[in-house]
Structure 1
Protein backbone atom coordinates (compact mmCIF):
# COMPACT_ATOMS: atom_id res chain seq x y z
CA UNK A 1 0.00 0.00 0.00
CA UNK A 2 1.29 3.48 -0.69
CA UNK A 3 0.63 6.65 1.31
CA UNK A 4 2.20 10.03 0.58
CA UNK A 5 4.78 8.40 -1.70
CA UNK A 6 5.85 5.83 0.91
CA UNK A 7 5.34 2.11 0.28
CA UNK A 8 4.16 0.24 3.36
CA UNK A 9 4.01 -3.53 3.70
CA UNK A 10 1.70 -4.52 6.54
CA UNK A 11 -0.12 -7.85 6.07
CA UNK A 12 -2.33 -7.55 9.15
CA UNK A 13 -3.59 -4.15 7.99
CA UNK A 14 -3.59 -4.77 4.22
CA UNK A 15 -4.20 -8.53 3.88
CA UNK A 16 -4.87 -8.42 0.14
CA UNK A 17 -1.51 -6.84 -0.69
CA UNK A 18 1.16 -9.26 -1.96
CA UNK A 19 4.47 -9.43 -0.06
CA UNK A 20 7.52 -11.66 -0.12
CA UNK A 21 8.57 -13.06 3.27
CA UNK A 22 12.24 -13.49 2.30
CA UNK A 23 12.52 -9.93 0.99
CA UNK A 24 10.83 -8.51 4.07
CA UNK A 25 13.04 -10.55 6.41
CA UNK A 26 16.11 -9.35 4.50
CA UNK A 27 15.03 -5.71 4.79
CA UNK A 28 14.29 -6.03 8.50
CA UNK A 29 17.63 -7.77 9.09
CA UNK A 30 19.38 -4.90 7.29
CA UNK A 31 17.62 -2.38 9.54
CA UNK A 32 18.36 -4.51 12.63
CA UNK A 33 22.08 -4.52 11.82
CA UNK A 34 22.09 -0.72 11.44
CA UNK A 35 20.13 0.08 14.61
CA UNK A 36 21.90 0.23 17.98
CA UNK A 37 21.47 -1.58 20.38
CA UNK A 38 19.99 -4.29 18.13
CA UNK A 39 23.14 -4.36 16.00
CA UNK A 40 25.07 -5.53 19.07
CA UNK A 41 22.56 -8.26 20.00
CA UNK A 42 23.04 -11.89 18.99
CA UNK A 43 21.34 -12.67 15.68
CA UNK A 44 19.15 -15.29 17.40
CA UNK A 45 17.38 -12.37 19.09
CA UNK A 46 16.19 -11.25 15.67
CA UNK A 47 14.40 -14.58 15.31
CA UNK A 48 12.73 -14.23 18.70
CA UNK A 49 11.28 -10.79 17.99
CA UNK A 50 10.93 -10.56 14.22
CA UNK A 51 9.68 -14.00 13.20
CA UNK A 52 6.51 -13.90 15.37
CA UNK A 53 5.70 -10.48 13.89
CA UNK A 54 6.16 -11.86 10.37
CA UNK A 55 4.13 -14.98 11.17
CA UNK A 56 1.22 -12.86 12.44
CA UNK A 57 1.66 -10.08 9.86
CA UNK A 58 1.88 -7.59 12.74
CA UNK A 59 4.49 -5.29 11.28
CA UNK A 60 4.88 -2.35 8.96
CA UNK A 61 7.89 -1.98 6.67
CA UNK A 62 8.39 1.47 5.13
CA UNK A 63 10.24 2.16 1.86
CA UNK A 64 10.60 5.12 -0.47
CA UNK A 65 11.65 4.62 -4.08
CA UNK A 66 13.10 1.21 -3.22
CA UNK A 67 15.09 2.41 -0.19
CA UNK A 68 14.11 0.92 3.16
CA UNK A 69 13.26 3.61 5.72
CA UNK A 70 12.17 1.69 8.78
CA UNK A 71 10.10 -0.99 10.42
CA UNK A 72 7.92 -1.49 13.43
CA UNK A 73 6.05 -4.41 14.90
CA UNK A 74 3.19 -4.64 17.34
CA UNK A 75 1.54 -7.19 19.59
CA UNK A 76 -2.12 -7.34 20.57
CA UNK A 77 -1.94 -8.15 24.27
CA UNK A 78 -4.46 -9.31 26.85
CA UNK A 79 -4.32 -7.65 30.29
CA UNK A 80 -2.57 -10.75 31.68
CA UNK A 81 0.03 -10.87 28.91
CA UNK A 82 0.51 -7.11 29.17
CA UNK A 83 1.31 -7.42 32.88
CA UNK A 84 3.87 -10.12 32.08
CA UNK A 85 5.34 -8.01 29.25
CA UNK A 86 5.88 -5.08 31.61
CA UNK A 87 8.00 -7.39 33.77
CA UNK A 88 9.90 -9.13 30.95
CA UNK A 89 9.68 -9.07 27.17
CA UNK A 90 10.42 -12.81 27.15
CA UNK A 91 6.64 -13.31 27.14
CA UNK A 92 6.87 -12.39 23.44
CA UNK A 93 9.00 -15.47 22.74
CA UNK A 94 5.69 -17.38 22.63
CA UNK A 95 4.10 -16.52 19.26
CA UNK A 96 0.51 -16.95 20.53
CA UNK A 97 1.05 -14.12 23.02
CA UNK A 98 1.36 -11.67 20.12
CA UNK A 99 -2.40 -12.06 19.56
CA UNK A 100 -3.63 -12.68 23.09
CA UNK A 101 -5.87 -9.60 23.37
CA UNK A 102 -6.83 -6.22 21.99
CA UNK A 103 -4.35 -3.75 23.50
CA UNK A 104 -1.77 -2.64 20.92
CA UNK A 105 1.84 -2.57 22.06
CA UNK A 106 4.62 -1.42 19.74
CA UNK A 107 7.36 -4.02 20.20
CA UNK A 108 10.17 -2.86 17.91
CA UNK A 109 10.72 0.39 16.04
CA UNK A 110 13.73 0.73 13.72
CA UNK A 111 14.41 3.90 11.78
CA UNK A 112 18.21 4.12 11.62
CA UNK A 113 18.30 6.75 8.87
CA UNK A 114 16.27 9.46 10.58
CA UNK A 115 12.78 8.61 9.30
CA UNK A 116 11.10 7.94 12.64
CA UNK A 117 8.91 11.06 12.55
CA UNK A 118 7.77 10.26 9.01
CA UNK A 119 6.88 6.71 10.11
CA UNK A 120 5.02 7.97 13.18
CA UNK A 121 3.03 10.47 11.12
CA UNK A 122 2.03 7.88 8.52
CA UNK A 123 1.16 5.38 11.25
CA UNK A 124 -1.11 7.88 13.01
CA UNK A 125 -2.73 9.05 9.76
CA UNK A 126 -3.24 5.75 7.97
CA UNK A 127 -2.22 2.60 9.82
CA UNK A 128 -3.62 3.12 13.31
CA UNK A 129 -5.74 6.15 12.50
CA UNK A 130 -8.82 4.87 14.32
CA UNK A 131 -7.04 3.31 17.26
CA UNK A 132 -7.77 5.19 20.47
CA UNK A 133 -4.53 3.99 22.08
CA UNK A 134 -1.33 2.15 21.36
CA UNK A 135 1.51 1.75 23.82
CA UNK A 136 5.26 1.33 23.76
CA UNK A 137 8.06 0.97 26.25
CA UNK A 138 10.48 3.85 25.79
CA UNK A 139 13.93 2.60 26.76
CA UNK A 140 15.94 5.81 26.44
CA UNK A 141 14.64 7.24 29.70
CA UNK A 142 17.72 6.00 31.53
CA UNK A 143 19.81 2.90 32.18
CA UNK A 144 17.61 -0.01 33.20
CA UNK A 145 14.51 2.17 33.11
CA UNK A 146 11.70 2.10 30.61
CA UNK A 147 8.60 4.23 30.65
CA UNK A 148 5.27 3.62 28.99
CA UNK A 149 4.45 5.93 26.09
CA UNK A 150 0.90 6.22 24.74
CA UNK A 151 0.02 6.99 21.12
CA UNK A 152 -3.33 7.71 19.51
CA UNK A 153 -4.37 7.64 15.89
CA UNK A 154 -5.25 10.96 14.26
CA UNK A 155 -8.88 10.14 13.58
CA UNK A 156 -9.27 8.69 17.06
CA UNK A 157 -8.12 12.05 18.48
CA UNK A 158 -10.51 13.91 16.16
CA UNK A 159 -13.45 11.64 17.02
CA UNK A 160 -12.81 12.05 20.75
CA UNK A 161 -13.08 15.84 20.60
Structure 2
Protein backbone atom coordinates (compact mmCIF):
# COMPACT_ATOMS: atom_id res chain seq x y z
CA UNK A 1 0.00 0.00 0.00
CA UNK A 2 2.90 2.32 0.62
CA UNK A 3 3.82 2.14 -3.06
CA UNK A 4 0.29 2.89 -4.25
CA UNK A 5 -0.49 6.60 -4.55
CA UNK A 6 -4.21 6.02 -3.95
CA UNK A 7 -3.56 4.33 -0.60
CA UNK A 8 -0.29 5.68 0.79
CA UNK A 9 -1.81 8.93 2.05
CA UNK A 10 -4.69 7.37 3.99
CA UNK A 11 -4.45 7.13 7.79
CA UNK A 12 -3.80 3.62 9.09
CA UNK A 13 -7.19 3.60 10.83
CA UNK A 14 -8.93 4.02 7.47
CA UNK A 15 -7.09 1.00 6.09
CA UNK A 16 -8.09 -0.98 9.17
CA UNK A 17 -11.76 -0.11 8.59
CA UNK A 18 -11.49 -1.33 4.97
CA UNK A 19 -9.80 -4.63 5.80
CA UNK A 20 -10.80 -5.68 9.33
CA UNK A 21 -14.12 -7.36 8.50
CA UNK A 22 -12.64 -8.97 5.38
CA UNK A 23 -9.92 -10.51 7.56
CA UNK A 24 -12.47 -11.63 10.18
CA UNK A 25 -14.54 -13.33 7.46
CA UNK A 26 -11.51 -14.80 5.64
CA UNK A 27 -12.52 -12.79 2.57
CA UNK A 28 -9.16 -11.24 1.76
CA UNK A 29 -6.39 -12.64 -0.42
CA UNK A 30 -2.81 -11.41 -0.68
CA UNK A 31 -0.36 -12.00 -3.52
CA UNK A 32 3.37 -12.12 -2.84
CA UNK A 33 6.44 -12.17 -5.05
CA UNK A 34 9.12 -14.89 -4.90
CA UNK A 35 10.85 -13.12 -2.01
CA UNK A 36 7.69 -12.93 0.09
CA UNK A 37 7.07 -9.25 -0.55
CA UNK A 38 3.40 -8.26 -0.93
CA UNK A 39 2.27 -7.34 -4.44
CA UNK A 40 -1.51 -7.07 -4.11
CA UNK A 41 -4.57 -7.75 -2.04
CA UNK A 42 -8.27 -8.07 -2.79
CA UNK A 43 -11.34 -8.20 -0.54
CA UNK A 44 -14.83 -9.44 -1.39
CA UNK A 45 -18.22 -10.07 0.20
CA UNK A 46 -21.27 -12.23 -0.51
CA UNK A 47 -24.10 -9.75 -0.21
CA UNK A 48 -27.89 -9.78 -0.43
CA UNK A 49 -29.86 -7.76 -3.02
CA UNK A 50 -30.92 -5.06 -0.52
CA UNK A 51 -27.31 -4.61 0.62
CA UNK A 52 -26.20 -4.46 -3.00
CA UNK A 53 -28.67 -1.63 -3.62
CA UNK A 54 -27.30 0.40 -0.70
CA UNK A 55 -23.73 -0.29 -1.79
CA UNK A 56 -24.49 1.06 -5.27
CA UNK A 57 -26.59 4.06 -4.26
CA UNK A 58 -24.88 5.35 -1.10
CA UNK A 59 -21.22 6.39 -1.46
CA UNK A 60 -20.83 6.48 2.35
CA UNK A 61 -22.23 2.97 2.89
CA UNK A 62 -20.03 0.47 4.75
CA UNK A 63 -20.98 -3.15 5.22
CA UNK A 64 -22.00 -4.25 8.70
CA UNK A 65 -20.14 -7.42 9.82
CA UNK A 66 -23.34 -9.46 9.36
CA UNK A 67 -23.65 -8.33 5.72
CA UNK A 68 -20.35 -9.81 4.53
CA UNK A 69 -21.84 -13.31 4.17
CA UNK A 70 -25.58 -12.77 3.91
CA UNK A 71 -26.26 -13.45 0.24
CA UNK A 72 -25.07 -14.96 -2.98
CA UNK A 73 -23.94 -11.88 -4.88
CA UNK A 74 -20.16 -11.67 -5.00
CA UNK A 75 -18.77 -8.14 -4.81
CA UNK A 76 -15.12 -7.10 -4.86
CA UNK A 77 -14.88 -4.33 -2.28
CA UNK A 78 -11.21 -3.41 -2.43
CA UNK A 79 -8.23 -4.12 -4.64
CA UNK A 80 -4.76 -2.67 -4.20
CA UNK A 81 -1.50 -3.60 -5.86
CA UNK A 82 2.04 -2.42 -6.21
CA UNK A 83 2.38 -0.16 -9.26
CA UNK A 84 3.10 -2.17 -12.40
CA UNK A 85 1.54 -5.40 -11.12
CA UNK A 86 -2.15 -4.67 -11.72
CA UNK A 87 -2.57 -6.75 -14.88
CA UNK A 88 -0.67 -9.68 -13.36
CA UNK A 89 -2.72 -9.56 -10.15
CA UNK A 90 -6.02 -9.37 -12.03
CA UNK A 91 -4.96 -12.27 -14.25
CA UNK A 92 -4.16 -14.36 -11.17
CA UNK A 93 -7.43 -13.55 -9.39
CA UNK A 94 -9.36 -14.31 -12.60
CA UNK A 95 -7.67 -17.71 -13.01
CA UNK A 96 -7.84 -18.62 -9.32
CA UNK A 97 -10.81 -16.73 -7.87
CA UNK A 98 -10.50 -16.88 -4.08
CA UNK A 99 -14.25 -16.23 -3.72
CA UNK A 100 -15.23 -19.40 -5.61
CA UNK A 101 -17.39 -19.64 -8.71
CA UNK A 102 -19.97 -17.18 -9.91
CA UNK A 103 -20.35 -13.73 -11.37
CA UNK A 104 -18.26 -11.09 -9.61
CA UNK A 105 -19.20 -7.41 -9.49
CA UNK A 106 -17.47 -4.22 -8.44
CA UNK A 107 -17.92 -0.49 -8.81
CA UNK A 108 -15.48 1.31 -11.07
CA UNK A 109 -14.03 4.67 -10.03
CA UNK A 110 -16.73 6.23 -12.23
CA UNK A 111 -19.40 4.34 -10.23
CA UNK A 112 -20.19 1.97 -13.08
CA UNK A 113 -21.07 -1.62 -12.18
CA UNK A 114 -18.46 -3.95 -13.66
CA UNK A 115 -18.90 -7.73 -13.99
CA UNK A 116 -16.62 -10.72 -14.44
CA UNK A 117 -18.09 -14.13 -15.23
Instruction: Please indicate the TM-score interval, normalised by the length of the shorter structure.
Output: 0.7 to 0.9
Give the structure 1 partner of residue 25 of structure 2: 56
1:119 is aligned to 89
RMSD over aligned Cα atoms: 2.0
Extract structure 1 runs of 4+ deviating beyond 4 A. none
TM-score (norm. length: structure 1): 0.64
Secondary structure in 1 matching 2:96: helix
Q: Count residues with an aligned counterpart.
A: 116
Give the TM-score normalised by the residue count of structure 2: 0.86
CA distance in 1 between counterparts of 2:100 and 2:46 reads 15
| Pair 34,119 (structure 1): closer, same or farther in 2 beyond 3 Å | same
Report 1 or 2 for greater relative contact order, CA contacts < 8 Å, sequence distance ≥ 6: 2
Structure 1 runs not aligned, ≥5 long: 1-30, 140-144, 153-161
**Which is greater in Rg?**
1
Q: Is 1:132 the equivalent of 2:102?
A: yes
- Name 1:148's counterpart in structure 2: 113
